[in-house]
Structure 1
């Protein structure tokens, strides 16, 4: 069974979303199905079919999230002592093309949100950074062309 790395914050957020999906979202979908059933003929009842489809997608997402949580390997970045970039690192970078400093935290796939400064361990940027040290250069292969990044600082917090 393959372990799925995630931070404690990511696992907590997933558990919270799972509780909502199993609770209020399920109840909302059931109410929508019951209301659609009250309209009669199911063969031409678009509301019923839409509610059943939403129910199927919700249940599939619940199963997926339960599986990921069961296989989760919770990693606390505060306990990591390394000079190299690994999962959980917050990395300050200098984009040599734009001369701008950017900061990313490397997290699990399901908790990554670029607008929050978190990137997935499987992203091209993270893959280019893993194993590097402060002062190293990383080349990120991007659709718009290669980007050169200098690693300014590595923080485990």
Structure 2
């Protein structure tokens, strides 16, 4: 069975690689040092510093494992390989909900690069799934857990 791939831009992959490097070279050694210090306090059965450091170690190792998997199975998407007006990972899309006047702008990214506060939506999100493959002028139906709504694609551009 094929492993899951993680579609992303080259920039997203490079960001993940930097994050992984930070975890391995900075955070991991810091946690190991905290564990050593906490061990020096003696009895581990009632040592809250030791327990906290071990919990943090598990968290950091989980992050490292997750990032290594995403990087190993990264599928680099070249937004230049699709039509200039077609929505794809690496494109910025301006949409308008049908019947509304406000415009919304989203960058379509792989799941690893999603950041709703920065306007970066995943290709796996409801809006990302609805928009991928559509072109300027198309209408897309966004299916959400609380209902669906239609949006018109006003503009598609390569993300700078």
Question: Please, what TM-score do these two structures have when normalized by structure 1?
Answer: 0.90
- Quick one: which of 5, 11, 14 aligns to 1:12? 14
SS at match of 2:88: coil
Aligned to 1:86: 88
Aligned to 1:24: 26
- CA shift, 1:80, in A, is 3.2
SS at match of 1:61: helix
How many residues align? The count is 157
Is the 8 Å Cα contact of residues 109 and 120 (structure 1) preserved in structure 2? yes
- Across the aligned residues of Structure 1 and Structure 2, the Cα RMSD in angstroms comes to 1.7
Correspondence list, 1:45-84, <5 A: 45-81=47-83, 83-84=85-86
Runs of 5+ consecutive residues of structure 1 not aligned to the other structure: none
Is the 8 Å Cα contact of residues 97 and 147 (structure 1) preserved in structure 2? no
Runs of 4+ in structure 1 over 6 Å off:
none
- Quick one: which of 109, 112, 119 aligns to 2:111? 109
Distance 1:5 1:48 in 2: 39
Residue 141 (str. 1) matches residue 135 (str. 2): no
